[in-house]
Amino acid sequence: MPRSPLTLTEPIIVNGAAARMWPEVDTSAPVVVADITRALAVHNPVVHSSAMMRKPVILALGGYDEARRFVFDYDLWVRWAAAGIRLGRIQLPLPAKRTNPGQSYLHSSHLPYHFAGVSIQIHAIRALGIRPRSLPLIALRFLWGVLPPRARANSRRFGSSFRRTCSDHCWKSL
């Protein structure tokens, strides 16, 4: 497996009070590291608890921006990519991330949170040298993100499908 200053793993997403379901892992299969750097132009592809980082690189890039109120992890990943450091994801599910409708970022400072995300996303597009033709996708994602939590919960299937489609297809064509 190649040594990288930033390696991520595939997360298991657990919705609400559902039980975690750890999949069977074939330990004899080779470890494959996929380059997901360009996905930064579409969304934050990193589940923070899955990130394994080298401290000297974090320090060299100035670490997390303590002046930020939101998306400080997304900002760090984009700065890593702007410095030429690739984000590699191992296709093994190691962490579990639980999501629920009561999460604080869903209710407090909702609009500033999404503006901060769009700002970082535009920086990612510039840093990765991607043509701005993805701006309509950013606008749609932003509009979906600022819907009230109940409306987003009711449209979760559409949102999950939209994010998955963008992650799998949109950024590959950028």
Q: List pLDDT tens digits, range 101-143.
A: 666 555 555 778 788 888 888 889 888 888 767 677 777 777 7
Q: What is the largest CA-CA distance in the chain?
A: 46
pTM of the model: 0.72
The answer, yes or no, to whether residue 64 has pLDDT greater than 60, is: yes
Q: What is the pLDDT of residue 66?
A: 92
Quick check: 54 pLDDT over 90? no
Alpha helices, H only, 61-134 = 72-82, 110-127
Please report the pLDDT score of residue 79 as a whole number: 93
Is residue 144 a contact partner of residue 43, using CB atoms and an 8 Å limit? no
Q: Say if CB 106 and CB 147 are below 8 A apart.
A: no
Share of the chain above pLDDT 90, in %: 11
